[in-house]
Amino acid sequence: MALNLKANITRPDDFYQELIDMQRDMSEDDVQLMNAKLILILSNHIGDQETLSEAMLLARG
Amino acid sequence: MLNTYTWPEYDYVQSEDQKNSTSVKRHPVIVIGAGLIGLTAALDCAKRGIPVIVMDDNNTVSIGSRAVCYAKRPLEIWDRLEVADRVVEKGISWKLGKVFFKEDLAYEFDLLPEEGHKMPAITNLQQYYCEEFLVDEVVKQSDLIDLRWKHKLISLTRHDDYTSLQVETPDGVFTMECDWLIACDGANSNIRKMVHASFTGQFFQDRFLIADVVMKADFPTERWFWFDPLFHKNQSALLHKQSDDVWRLDFQMGWDVDPHEATKRENVIPLIKAMLGHGTDFELEWVSIYQFACRRIDNFRYGRIVFAGDAAHQVSPFGARGANTGIQDIDNLIWKLKMVMDGAAPDSLIDSYDEERAFAADDNLLNSTRSTDFITPKNRASRYFRDAVLELSKKYDFARPLVNSGRLSTPTPYVNSSLNTVDEDDFDGTMCPGTNCIDAPIVKDGKDGWLLHQLGDGFTVLIFGDYPENTSISSGDISAEVITVGGQFEDRQGLLTTRYDGGKGAVYLIRPDQHVAARWRTFDQEKITTAMARATGQR
């Protein structure tokens, strides 16, 4: 499995708060657009198709 | 009547078959449909020495402008049939494109066509011009091609080794027979219905309005595509140049639009004004509305009937894959037909037409469906992703390859074809068994020329490096012409050797449709013969 599912975020509480705070006052529409951009930006960073497929399948549940 | 074009009217002539209708005549090949694909089929038959009859229920060329963009490979096929020069000369070659999102330019692209090819990467021309040029060439070849206007196929009966046709003309109904029938009767093919073929795929719940306008405005010769522009909210639009100062405009209209209302002049004009700017003078040349589907026939061959072009597959217009892929169908079919008709290859060679072109059709359908999914998102989530890609593409390079306003048509290599011989040696570059031969400049008898013109009408063995003298290559009744780089012609610029990775010596076996069947580093007559037998279905 190429996807890292071990805890890897350096400061989990800080990261989570930053994400939530950032979207707190945004409209539903803007949040959706931001999330879509975030997925695209992170996907490009990862790059590897196999890892991306694994992540998408995992997220779908 | 258009301002820039007058449709030719071709004469109906009663055929000898109909005059002597008491005795039914059997013909080798009949093509139904004198559109781009049917006319190309006729020319390729004549090129290969097959007498052919082409019949069309109409007596003119395409009404309205449909296909616009012709890509390099189909142009190379038309060049083999001696019509490409006129198309390129009359057409508009372009390489720059702009993609807009809302009011902003998202990014620009340059197709960066590779130098050293005879044909341009892409040429735009109204379909009626192309058909007219094809008809002119067909008329020149009247010794082999019999083009019959106002001949409507009304029914057919299939037999094991021929087809019987009921044909209606202004003089009534009569019967004809043919060994082979090539169905080029378009997306609504009657022949497809007559053989009860299935034609399935995906329909898209969207409509597009085409408008051809004449204007002398100084828009650059570029392809402009808008996603969600201010002048046409929540939809897409396209601007593309054709010949005679005619511009193709394309507006996405959505599913709920009333097609009759939408095409009314009073509704079309304001839409165009909003797009072009209110100061731009233009005249409306043509307007129509269409809905499209991505689908294909279950088998390109029904015994002695073969399907080509839109009769076999229908794609969305994004990426110019309709006419371009149909021309390549013909390129693939006719040499096989000739060999089977001559008894040089088994009947099963025609099955490889379905194998190779259905594979290509599926590739085109996939590309076309992907473009459509990007241009017309199916739900809110995909709309967010689409808009996210477009916004990111304004600033960031990484998002640009995700923008899909139509991927331009490129040939689908027959990578898994049963006619190929798998490489046993290592080669660099983009070519492999199943790809079409890349063109390259050469010098012959001191004059500049092109590689593709050196390839013969049959099989060709193209050699880089040494080979035994006085060698002839044949497999059964099929022989190959041997040509060597440095022998029949020179590769002064070195591009040919680079493109074919011939520096260390190379031997290419090339099919009559200019596709690579097999290749090796060294010359081995037995291997070539075996590969040729495989490429002609003899083993």
* Final residue in a domain of this structure, among B345, B367, B389: B367
Mean residue pLDDT of chain B comes to: 94
Q: Report CB contact under 8 Å: B385, A39.
A: yes
Q: Which backbone phi and psi does B246 adopt, to 5 degrees?
A: -95, 135
The structural domain count of chain B equals 2
The structural domain count of chain A equals 1
Is residue B74 included in any domain, yes or no?
yes
Straight-line distance from the first to the last Cα atom of chain B, in angstroms, rounded to the nearest whole number: 55
- pLDDT, greater one: B321 or B180: B180
Is residue B382 included in any domain, yes or no?
no
Is residue B353 included in any domain, yes or no?
yes
Angstrom distances, CA of residue B227 to CA of A32, B100, B481, B535: 19, 6, 52, 46
Q: In 3D, which of B518, B498, B532 has the Cα closest to residue B423?
A: B518
The minimum CA-CA distance between A9 and chain B, rounded to whole Å, is: 24
Is the CB of residue B167 less than 8 Å from the CB of residue B55?
A: yes
pLDDT at B315: 86
pLDDT at B1: 60
CATH number of B183's domain:
3.50.50.60
Is residue B211 included in any domain, yes or no?
no
Is the CB of residue A3 less than 8 Å from the CB of residue A52?
A: no
Is the CB of residue B439 less than 8 Å from the CB of residue B378?
A: no
Place of tokens 């074809």: B417
The minimum CA-CA distance between B182 and chain A, rounded to whole Å, is: 42
Distance (Å, rounded) from C-alpha B236 to C-alpha B513? Answer: 38
pLDDT at B496: 97
Is residue A39 included in any domain, yes or no?
yes
Is residue A7 included in any domain, yes or no?
no
Is residue B413 included in any domain, yes or no?
no
Confidence of residue B434 (pLDDT cuts 50, 70, 90): very high
Element containing residue B520 per DSSP (H, E): strand B516-520
Is residue B390 included in any domain, yes or no?
no
pLDDT at A52: 97
Is residue A1 included in any domain, yes or no?
no
The minimum CA-CA distance between B109 and chain A, rounded to whole Å, is: 20
Is residue A4 included in any domain, yes or no?
no
B193 shares its domain with B335: yes
Question: Cβ contacts (< 8 Å) between A33 and chain B: which residues?
Answer: 384, 387-388, 391
The contacts of residue A7 (CB under 8 Å, 6+ apart) are none
Query: Quick one: average pLDDT of B184-192?
Result: 96
Place of tokens 């038959």: B45
Q: Report CB contact under 8 Å: B392, A40.
A: yes
Question: Cβ contacts (< 8 Å) between B397 and chain A: which residues?
Answer: none
Is residue A49 included in any domain, yes or no?
yes
Is the CB of residue B461 less than 8 Å from the CB of residue B510?
A: yes
* Final residue in a domain of this structure, among B367, B391, B415: B367
CA angle B114, B116, B119 (to 5 degrees): 85
Is residue A34 included in any domain, yes or no?
yes
CATH number of B498's domain:
3.40.30.120
* Final residue in a domain of this structure, among B313, B339, B367: B367
* Residue B484 CB neighbours (<10 A): 15
In the numeric block, which tokens belong to residue B367? 């590309």
**Domain ranges, residue B349:** 16-91+126-199+294-367
pLDDT tens by residue, B344-382: 999 999 999 999 999 999 999 999 889 989 998 989 999
Is A40's Cβ below 8 Å from some Cβ in B?
yes
DSSP state of B485: B
Is residue A41 included in any domain, yes or no?
yes
Full-model pTM: 0.94
Question: Cβ contacts (< 8 Å) between A35 and chain B: which residues?
Answer: 384
**Domain ranges, residue A33:** 12-60
Is residue B60 included in any domain, yes or no?
yes
B345 shares its domain with B445: no
In the numeric block, which tokens belong to residue B79? 């060049």
Is the CB of residue B97 less than 8 Å from the CB of residue B319?
A: no
B464 shares its domain with B341: no
pLDDT tens by residue, B213-260: 999 877 889 999 999 999 999 999 999 999 999 999 999 999 999 999
DSSP state of B319: T
Query: Quick one: average pLDDT of B191-213?
Result: 93
B356 shares its domain with B447: no
Is residue B227 included in any domain, yes or no?
no
